[in-house]
A and B are shown apart, each in its own frame.
Chain A
Amino acid sequence: AQSVAQPEDQVNVAEGNPLTVKCTYSVSGNPYLFWYVQYPNRGLQFLLKYITGDNLVKGSYGFEAEFNKSQTSFHLKKPSALVSDSALYFCAVRDPNNDYKLSFGAGTTVTVRA
């Protein structure tokens, strides 16, 4: 079975500082990994994905994520956080052998203070 862990319920950073949101996963075989963001009372917005290739993937709004197979991690990063980045972030994994079902972490609330 596939699963995702987001070890931090909350991350607080000052505007302009680097932002990191942690994610570890468990899946048989090579995973498909995703980050989504959710603003209050809204659906999920896709940020980026890792399928294969370069371990550092770039996505929307200046976000990037690094895939680390040995540590089974896929941490989300942004070099300089904005107040508007304050939201709920979800990491998700998909087993390529089951090409439809996403398993999500519990989410990390990011607060960027001015």
Chain B
Amino acid sequence: DTGVSQDPRHKITKRGQNVTFRCDPISEHNRLYWYRQTLGQGPEFLTYFQNEAQLEKSRLLSDRFSAERPKGSFSTLEIQRTEQGDSAMYLCASSPWGGVEAFFGQGTRLTVV
């Protein structure tokens, strides 16, 4: 499968715990995006990487959230001290340089109990 891959697909965690999600973009896509989707809503932009550089962070990304893309390939999204309001689907997408559309992974569904 050469699409965007996300791991895990599902995560249930207790409030206050830290979680980390991984995204593997399509090979040679230098742009990588994280979005969050809550029930009944469309995806909302969280952050964007061009290669290893994080170029923008949404105001939705509080200090408890951190994203990295250390070698310009895979990316991780960490949430510290999770809260029930963090429960959502976290979507990763990638696109090539000069490309217009973004290609999405299947998402990681986080449930904070």
Contacts and interface: CB of A to CB of B under 8 A. Distances in A.
A107 B41 contact: yes
A49 interface: yes
A59 B75 CA distance: 30
Given A36-B104, A42-B106, A43-B106, A101 B56 contact: yes
Interface residues on B, range: 20 to 34
Interface of B: 4, 6, 31, 33, 35, 40-45, 48, 50, 55-56, 91, 93, 100-107, 109
B43 A100 contact: no
Given A32-B100, A34-B101, A51-B100, A44 B43 contact: yes
Interface residues of A, number: 23
B40 A104 contact: no
B107 A43 contact: yes
Overall SS of chain B's interface = strand
Chain A interface SS verdict (over half)? strand
A46 B103 contact: yes
A44 to B, nearest CB: 4
A90 to B, nearest CB: 5
Interface of A: 4, 32, 34, 36, 41-46, 49, 51, 90, 92, 94, 100-107
A34 to B, nearest CB: 6
B42 A45 contact: no
Contacts of B35: 102
A94 B55 CA distance: 16
A94 B109 CA distance: 25
Contact of B42 (A41, A43, A90, A94): A90
A78 B55 CA distance: 38
8 contacts: A4-B42, A34-B101, A43-B104, A44-B91, A44-B93, A44-B104, A107-B41, A107-B42
